[in-house]
Structure 1
Amino acid sequence: MVQWTQAEAEMAKQSENVLHRLNEHGFEAYWVGGCVRDEMLGRAVDDMDITTSASPEQVMALFDDCIPTGLQHGTVTVRSGGYYFEVTTFRTESEYQDNRRPAAVQFVQDIKEDLQRRDFTMNALAMDVNGVIVDPFGGQKDIKQGLVRCVGLAVERFGEDALRMLRCVRFASVFDFRIAHHTWRGLVNQRELLQHIAMERVRTEMVKMMAGPHPLKGLELLFRSQALEYVKAPVDSSRFNKELLVGLQLLSGEHVLLRWSCVLLAGGYNREEADKLLRQWTFSNEQRVRITGVLQVEQLVTDFVVQCENERMLRESWIVTVLTCGAQAANDWLLLQEQLTKHWRDGSEEVHARMRKVQTHAAGWSQSMPVHEIKELEITGEQVLQLVERKGGPWLGQLMKHLLRETAIGNIMNQHETLRAEVKRVAANDQA
């Protein structure tokens, strides 16, 4: 029995049961790929893939609880003890279509033929129930040396599936590995093939890289290779302020969306330009709002620190910014400021001093706000209409925003009678 140290004990036991059952019926069976690699690296094993000499039909005949998830590619999902395991028949692959998927697969009986089709040596590893490792391409040695190396010729592996180039960078970034020389040359020479890859797949690789422990390393590799300039929604690596990107390393993985804000800020993107790019990269609405909110705060703060001559004006402008962008965006912006190099913005020493004052006091100014939204006001739009005896219209929204602003700043109290008095004052001035 193999003593897995990085996999959940019950998951390891159930996967071993699957291997034993296949072996008992005369078939070869191995754990393969990422689970073997991660066990060697001391990284958490989240799923355990299995490869076997049994055909998909033979696998389904052996297990009562299974799902034919990808029969054309030889994959059956077997459920054991509540855990799901992808069981794939040894196979080779023919020519690839669109530089991303094989036109056809052929089932084989030799595990080494199966491993030969895989992307990198660290993933071309298999292990049987006795712990015997099958490693025909030196994957264990490359793992020990911290090396990402293609199985066989890099030009062939990347030509088969261009996404492997981004996976190469992602593995180097997440594992803090080097990329083997010939693999790197193959990546640079084949990077144009990335134009064939759907942006959703590109985003998936980038998100994994950005959530890892060394995102800056990954970005540096992407910038050096200029790979992102060849994807469907390209990014020009020359526009990025490398000093600002250092902030990525200081932001923990739990702040992954803020890492994206940092990258876009370093690239000089404004909110609108960033939102367009993130749409093209298939980020969700919620993610886009969170990422670009920081850029919106940056734009507003950069503008008002030039104009505001004293702390009172800075405080009022900050509070208006919070009302405009939301507390989440404002808090994210402040958190990011703690990681960025000083004086990265253009401007006079006086402007820099005002910016430092905002960064120092903004959290306190935010806490002093008694209200953040119109619904928190002690007066409703309906009550305002009754008070001034007018029909609704754009003026009502403007008036409610005025009440919110004045209340948030602290110029008037959030009390019904006080707000009524302010409504009457504004209405009287409008009629004057």
Structure 2
Amino acid sequence: MKWKQADAGMAGCAEQVLSVLEAHGHEAYWVGGCVRDELMGRPVNDMDITTSARPDEVTGLFERTVPTGIEHGTITVLVGNYAFEVTTYRVEGSYENHRRPAEVAFVRDLTEDLRRRDFTMNAIACDLQGRIVDPYHGADDIREGVIRCVGAARVRFQEDALRMVRCIRFASVFGYRIAFNTWKGLLEEKSGIQYIALERIRAELDKMMEGPHPFLGLNLLGRSRLLEKARVPVTYTPSVRLLSRIDDIPSSEAAVRWALLMKACGLSGQEAGNLMRQYTFSNDARERVEAQLDLDEKVKGINGEANLREQWVGLVLKYGQESARRWLLLCSVLPQESRNTAADELLAHGQEWMDEMNIFRLHDLEISGSDVIAISGKKGGPWVGELLKHLLFKAAAGHLPNTKLDLTEEMRRVMVTDEKV
């Protein structure tokens, strides 16, 4: 097999694994996502291998192995700097909690192993000579752009309810349509999603939001009402006019895409944060979205007659440079009627004004809290922090050079003024 989409080093090490297995009388194939992505012309990031060899036989053939999932027949084989999951052909018994098989049985027939897989495009194997084994016509479905379950869709989704979210995620990321019977099975079995841990659902949603067509996936989620059956039900009806702009945001800016989704659902920063916390988003991911939505609310409240540049400097200092940059991107995709005059002006000048700022944080000031106390001769207290914030704003807005001399003079001026008051 000549791989065009895989790293040459990884492909070469994987070939060694297959060669060793075959040399000792076992069948061995690349299988699943790596074969699918190669046929699609997409980058191959890892390579799974399926074999007729039993786990103990695999372990005996290679110097470095890890019993990753030995009870289910999976051994991780380490070759060079690469790790390959090598799994024995198997069939699966009943499933526990709509998620994982309670038991597996090892078999010697590759077709039996492929039959247990979720979708036809993932049930394709390929040997060292490049011969394709595709009993469920996954390659045809790839050419036609179809997501189709292997066998009966209801059975596949009953076995593992997360497959319903993966089905939508695959359709979204690949821009494929879902076969009628697969979609019908999803609708009939969607209540099974309640058995799936929220972090597993969130991981699939993250991949969808980082893909090229998140609007397609979100539309399918809305039509299926799948997440209404999750452990934390999601029942919001987002504004389609806002949500339709989500594909205009680069896939590298997932935090902005999430913020647009939350805004389209009418959620405040706090409400969005609460939902994301329940869905096990990291604190960083949650805070990025909250900051954009909070900043958006602040801009909505800006008086058109106020000094917008100074207010913007204050917002950048409060929420941070990256949050301000993300908000500008979020604002740029909103329909005209969703923006006020302040937002329009910030779209025109906000980045320029931010570029003019040469200081963003208190520790960038050329004067410290201990300096303030020493110069003033007063005891420390909350007033020190307030004074430093004042100096930071003056320096960031360009009203004051960030030098110790100028900052000291401004500090003394403020203190004298306060004493007179």
The one-letter code of the counterpart of 1:288 is R
1:321 lines up with 2:334 in the alignment: no
What is the distance in 1 between the residues matched to 2:122 and 2:220? 21
Contact 1:116–1:124 (CA under 8 A) maintained in structure 2: yes
Which of 293, 296, 313 aligns to 2:294? It is 296
Q: Deviations over 1:246-272 (max 9, x none)?
A: 332112222222222222222222221
Matched residue, 2:383: 395
Q: 2:257 aligns with which of 256, 259, 262?
A: 259
Residues 302 and 136 (structure 1), Cα distance of their counterparts in 2 relative to 1, 3 Å cut: same
SS at structure 1 position matched to 2:78: strand
Question: Could you tell me how far apart the structure 2 residues matched to 1:13 and 1:286 are?
Answer: 38
Post-superposition shift, 1:233? 2.9
Deviates more, 1:15-24 or 1:28-37: 15-24
Q: Is the 8 A contact 2:300 2:342 kept in 1?
A: no
SS of equivalent residue, structure 2 residue 128: coil
Q: How far, CA to CA, are the matches of 1:368 and 1:219 in structure 2?
A: 38
CA distance in structure 1 between the aligned counterparts of 2:395 and 2:52, rounded to whole angstroms: 72
Report the counterpart of residue 146 of structure 1 in structure 2. Answer: 145
Which residue does 1:52 correspond to in 2?
A: 51
Matched residue type, 1:332: R
Distance 1:396 1:52, change over 3 A: same
* Residue 21 of structure 2 is aligned to residue 22 of structure 1: yes
Deviations for 1:180-217, whole angstroms, at most 9, x for unmatched residues? 11111111121121121112111111111111111111
Partner Cα separation in structure 2 for residue 73 and residue 273 of structure 1: 41
How many Å apart are 1:327 and its aligned residue?
0.9
Matched with 2:102 is 103
Give the C-alpha shift of residue 44 in structure 1. Answer: 1.3
Deviation sequence 1:19-60 (CA, Å, 0-9, x none): 222222222221111111111111111111111111101111
What's the % identity of the aligned pairs? 48
Whether 1:354 aligns to 2:353 is no
2:362 to 371, 374, 393: 374
- Distance in 2 between residues matched to 1:244 and 1:375, nearest whole Å: 39
Give, in angstroms, the shift of residue 107 of structure 1.
0.7
Q: Given the superposition, is the C-alpha separation of residues 79 and 423 from structure 1 closer, same or farther in structure 2, using an over 3 Å criterion? A: closer
Aligned twin of 2:371: 383
Please say if residues 223 and 237 of structure 1, whose CA atoms lie closer than 8 Å, have aligned partners that are also in contact: no
- Which stretch of structure 1 is more off in the superposition, 362-371 or 91-100? 362-371
Paired residue for 2:337?
A: 343
Out of 176-185 and 191-200, give the one that drifted further.
191-200
- Work out the number of aligned pairs and report it: 420
Within 2, Cα distance between the matches of 1:415 and 1:20? 68
Structure 1 residues 373 and 70: alpha-carbon distance in aligned structure 2, compared to 1, 3 A threshold: same
Task: Provide the C-alpha distance between the structure 1 equivalents of 2:247 and 2:404, rounded to a whole number of angstroms.
Answer: 49
Q: Secondary structure at the match of 1:30?
A: strand
For structure 2, the 5+ residue unaligned runs are: none
After superposition, the C-alpha distances for 1:370-425 in whole angstroms (9 at most, x for unaligned) are 43222233332222223333211122212221222233234444343443343333
The letter for the 2-side match of 1:323 is L
Q: Which amino acid aligns with 2:267?
A: Y
Three-state SS of the structure 1 residue aligned to 2:338 is coil
What is the match of residue 324 of structure 2?
Answer: 330
SS at match of 1:87: strand
Classify the secondary structure of the residue corresponding to 1:343.
helix
Report 1:173-252 matches (<5 A). 173-238=172-237, 240-252=238-250
Give the stretch that moved more between structures: 128-137 or 94-103: 128-137
SS of equivalent to 2:87: strand
4+ residue runs over 6 A deviation: none
Q: Is the 8 A contact 1:92 1:117 kept in 2?
A: yes
Deviations 1:134-183 (Å, cap 9, x if unpaired)?
A: 22222122111111011111111111111000110011111111001111
Distance 1:17 1:379 in 2: 62
Task: Let me know the Cα RMSD of the aligned residues.
Answer: 1.8
Report the CA distance shift for 1:199/1:379 in structure 2 as closer, same or farther (over 3 A). same
Select which of 265, 268, 271 maps to 2:269: 271
Pairwise CA distance, 1:133: 2.0
1:222 partner letter: L
The structure-2 alpha-carbon separation of the partners of 1:156 and 1:401, relative to structure 1 and needing over 3 Å to count, comes to same
Instruction: Report the 3-state secondary structure (helix = DSSP H, G, I; strand = E; otherwise coil) of the residue aligned with 2:232.
Output: coil
d(CA) in 1 for partners of 2:132 and 2:405?
A: 79
Distance 1:366 1:113, change over 3 A: same
- The answer (yes or no) to whether the contact 2:154–2:189 under 8 Å persists in 1 is yes
For residues 251-299 of structure 1, give each alpha carbon's deviation from its aligned partner in whole angstroms, at most 9, with x where no partner exists.
2222222222222222222221222222222222222222322112111
Cα distance in 2 for residues equivalent to 1:86 and 1:416: 60
- Provide TM-score, normalisation by structure 1: 0.92
Match of 2:411 in 1: 423
Q: 1-side partners of 2:29 and 2:408: how far apart?
A: 76
2:119 is matched with 120
Native 8 Å contact 2:74 2:86 kept in 1: yes
Shift of residue 18 of structure 1?
2.0
SS at match of 1:253: coil
Tell me the distance in 1 between the aligned counterparts of 2:324 and 2:199: 29
Q: Amino acid of the residue matched to residue 355 of structure 1?
A: A
- TM-score, normalised to structure 2's length? 0.94
Task: Tell me if 1:80 matches 2:58.
Answer: no
Give the 5 Å matches for 1:395-414: 395-414=383-402
